[in-house]
Amino acid sequence: MAPRYFTVGWDQLHRDAKALAWRLIEKGPWTGVVAITRGGLIPAAIIARELECRIIETVSVITYDEEKRGDPRVAKAPAAAGDGTGWLLVDDLVDTGTTARLVRAMLPGAHFATIYAKPAGKPLVDSFVTEVSQDTWILFPWDTEAQFIPPIAKAGAAK
């Protein structure tokens, strides 16, 4: 089955991150936010602003090498989050759960929140806003750019 594509623009990402913040405000207060880089950086900044949380850490997990999935590895661990107790862990998406399992093991006490969740990874997060099917590829605004696409009639004529 061909993958489905779900394009998320900047406005929608901001609305969805703010909706996640609404769900998280009652679960705080938080010691700080740990953003999973790179996808979690922008959602974490929006959520930290909405929750008035000024302490932000990062954890970097590398699972892809030029579109090829490999064994996950930690490129940078959070320096001050301890076991995660009192911390909010933020990512843009939980997909297969590969990154989530690794980061959960590092910060078992953290509350894990993502904007989007796929079925395989959903059990690993505590809070999320939108569930998408496992075969959906989310196109985030930092990974895409607007460009001209010829009309269908012209594209067909080129063959």
46 is in an annotated binding site: no
Which residues, including other chains, have CB under 8 Å from residue 50's CB and lie 6 or more apart? 17, 18, 21, 22, 25
Was 58 annotated as part of a binding site?
Answer: no
To the question of whether residue 144 is assigned a binding role by annotation, the answer is: no
Catalytic residue (choose from 16, 91, 135, 143): 91
Cross-strand partners of 58: 35
Whether 137 has a binding-site annotation, put simply, is: yes
Q: According to the annotation, is 71 in a ligand binding site? A: no
Active-site residue, from 83, 92, 126, 143? 92
| Residue 16 is among the residues annotated as catalytic for this protein | no
Q: Is 114 annotated as a binding residue?
A: no
Indicate which residue of 71, 95, 126, 135 is catalytic: 95
* Annotated binding-site residue? 136: no
CB-based contacts of 122-130 (< 8 A; 24+ apart in sequence): 122/94, 123/97, 124/94, 124/97, 124/100, 125/94, 125/100, 127/20, 127/23, 127/24, 127/27, 128/20, 128/94, 129/16, 129/19, 129/20, 129/23, 130/16
- On whether 139 is known to bind a ligand per the annotation, the reply is no
Is 135 known to be catalytic? no
Q: Is 143 designated active site?
A: no
Residues of each annotated binding site for xanthine? 95, 138
Residues of each annotated binding site for guanine? 95, 138
Annotated catalytic residues are 91-92, 95
Residues of each annotated binding site for 5-phospho-alpha-D-ribose 1-diphosphate? 38-39, 91-99
Residues of each annotated binding site for Mg(2+)? 92
